[in-house]
Amino acid sequence: MKPIVTLFMLCIVIPLLLFNHSVALVDTKYEDSPKRIIVFPLFAEEILQGLNAMDRVVYVGHESFPKDFPQANTKTSNSIPGSWWTMCDEEELLSLCPDLIIFPSDLKRDYAEVFPTLFRKTIPVLFLPTPEDLVELKRAISLIGSMINAPEETKKVLSQLQTEEEKYSDLRFITKTKRVMFYSEYQNDFRLLSSVSGVVNVFKNQYSTAYIPLDDILLSENPEIIFFDSCLIEDGFVIDYGDSYCDMIVNHICTIPGAQNVEAVKNMKIYPITIHNSHLIFESMEELYRHLGGH
């Protein structure tokens, strides 16, 4: 194996052992940065955009977003074909001649079975979990930055992240006593925001061990404030968003039998929020703290 590949493996593989992801490495010219990237997780796409690398992306994990979609920071990908990995065609991916593919971590175990031809091609692959705290987020940014050979851009994004973290540090104490509920069946989407903001989600860990209807949890926990995702995306498809969607969610919560006794409903403190699980998390926090009275 060429010396440069050996050096690359030492620099990349060792740190990977500390993080819940894996990377497939092959004997190729890593002195050349990847120029044809396929990226499925939205948070990884946002990181690539922050690293000014969207001109290298040839396929994304979602359909084109509408112009007024809340995820405005990913509009540059609208000219790029895309679909979620469960919906895409392996031959189409192969035809794009990718030199790096970023998948969600839950595909890792079944990758060879789901994409046998891609697997045999030994194309470099990253399996990344959605970051659940700032440590994992910074590692994901650093890893992607290393893989695409963008040290200066990576340093800039991490520096901006540090600045935003310091900006909001004092506000954690303002909101830590409020009873907040993130109203969503997909609680994983809110873990990073809850961790970074210091806001305790009343949807506690014990609820993850057995299915309990979301509305029952709302009634039993009696949150003071309720947040929900301002858009609904499933398998890379935009299902619903916008004012009518948000009004529908608020109306649903308010008409749950017994909800009239919930503090958030009585005071109409039910708010949509745009969720980011990348370095753009602080845009989500800006919305969060505005409604919590932190600003």
CA–CA distance, 60 with 57 (Å, rounded to integer): 7
Q: Are residues 81 and 184 in the same domain?
A: no
Q: Using 50, 70 and 90 to split pLDDT, how confident is the model at 236?
A: low
Boundary of a domain, candidates 124, 141, 165: 165
Q: Are residues 33 and 141 in the same domain?
A: yes
Number of domains in the chain: 2
Q: Are residues 131 and 150 in the same domain?
A: yes
Boundary of a domain, candidates 120, 142, 165: 165
If you average pLDDT over residues 59-84, what whole number do you get? 69
Q: Are residues 263 and 215 in the same domain?
A: yes
Lowest mean pLDDT among 53-67, 93-107, 274-288: 53-67
Which pTM was predicted? 0.80
- Measured in whole angstroms, how far is the alpha carbon of residue 34 from the centre of its chain? 22
Residue 85 has pLDDT above 60, yes or no: yes
Q: Which of 240, 237, 233, 230 is nearest to 182 (CA)?
A: 230
Is-contact 51 145, C-beta < 8 A? yes
Q: pLDDT averaged over the chain?
A: 79
Q: Which residues contact 271 (CB under 8 A, 6 or more apart)?
A: 225, 226, 227, 228, 287, 291
Q: Are residues 158 and 191 in the same domain?
A: no
Q: Are residues 91 and 148 in the same domain?
A: yes
Work out the percent of the chain whose per-residue pLDDT is above 90.
Answer: 39
CA–CA distance, 268 with 289 (Å, rounded to integer): 17
Q: Using 50, 70 and 90 to split pLDDT, how confident is the model at 1?
A: very low
Residue 10 has pLDDT above 50, yes or no: no
Q: Are residues 174 and 237 in the same domain?
A: yes
Q: Using 50, 70 and 90 to split pLDDT, how confident is the model at 23?
A: very low
Identify the pLDDT of residue 24: 42
Identify the pLDDT of residue 201: 67
Q: Are residues 59 and 42 in the same domain?
A: yes
Q: Are residues 46 and 191 in the same domain?
A: no
Q: What's 109's domain CATH number?
A: 3.40.50.1980
Q: Are residues 208 and 287 in the same domain?
A: yes
If you average pLDDT over residues 121-125, what whole number do you get? 89
Work out the percent of the chain whose per-residue pLDDT is above 70.
Answer: 73
Boundary of a domain, candidates 117, 148, 165: 165
Q: What is the domain range of residue 30? A: 3-165
Q: Are residues 192 and 97 in the same domain?
A: no
Residue-wise pLDDT for 46-57, tens only, equals 999 999 999 999
Identify the pLDDT of residue 245: 86
Q: Which residues contact 162 (CB under 8 A, 6 or more apart)?
A: none
Residue 70 has pLDDT above 90, yes or no: no
Q: Are residues 59 and 90 in the same domain?
A: yes
Of 43 and 175, the one with more pLDDT: 43
Residue-wise pLDDT for 203-230, tens only, equals 654 445 455 677 888 888 888 888 888 8
- Phi and psi at 5, nearest 5°, equal -70, -40
Identify the pLDDT of residue 244: 87
Is-contact 178 199, C-beta < 8 A? yes
